[in-house]
Chain A
């Protein structure tokens, strides 16, 4: 079973930057489009971004477009989320996931907490 482990979450001031990492236990995830999904404290799930399996294409939610950048290094089985110009409303647990269904396995990490506060 593939394991996804997020890291990099911490407390940061508004306007600051942070880079999250998502390391996979197997290279099989390199064939997957990889998503970031976040969950604010006590709230629901919000899709953030997706990156194509070869890294050639990315799509972002309107709420983070122009501030967040997702990338991947398939040689390291790792996906990244660079978050700039952070806002208080970006406070959330950030999950990386394959968002699977059917013939695509649905893998999730345990999440990493990002807190934006002065």
Chain B
């Protein structure tokens, strides 16, 4: 199974500042069949299911604010929130869809400093 490891486990950032969350996979998620990295990022707020933010490691889902961006390739990926807003307080997860079993990172809790 592909192991997904996020860092840090929790993060406190001031409003308007940048937040960076990392995700590392135990093997490459790059697929030559679609020339993409098979990784997504989710945002989950209490009592709600996860919401898809980014797919293909760097493509924003429709309707997601452009302060959210994803980068990385192979085994190392980053979710960046360029200017933190109060509504961004949540837990963020990465997930690989390179192979089954699907695996998630353990989550990163983002709070306001």
Contact = CB atoms under 8 A, between A and B. Distances in A.
Interface in A5-52: 35, 37, 44-47, 50
Nearest to B44: A45
Contacts of A100: 52, 55
Given A101-B40, A102-B59, A47 B104 contact: yes
Interface residues of A, number: 20
A97 to B, nearest CB: 7
B85 to A, nearest CB: 22
Contacts of B49: 95, 97, 108-111
A88 B61 CA distance: 36
Nearest to A100: B52
Nearest to B36: A102
9 contacts: A44-B105, A45-B50, A45-B104, A47-B101, A47-B104, A59-B100, A102-B56, A106-B40, A108-B49
A101 B97 contact: yes
A61 interface: yes
A57 to B, nearest CB: 10
Given A44-B107, A59-B100, A99-B95, 13 more contacts: A35-B102, A37-B102, A45-B104, A47-B103, A47-B104, A59-B101, A100-B55, A101-B97, A102-B36, A102-B59, A109-B49, A110-B49, A111-B49
Interface in B42-101: 42, 44, 48-50, 52, 55-56, 59, 61, 93, 95, 97, 100-101
B44 to A, nearest CB: 8
A44 B56 contact: no
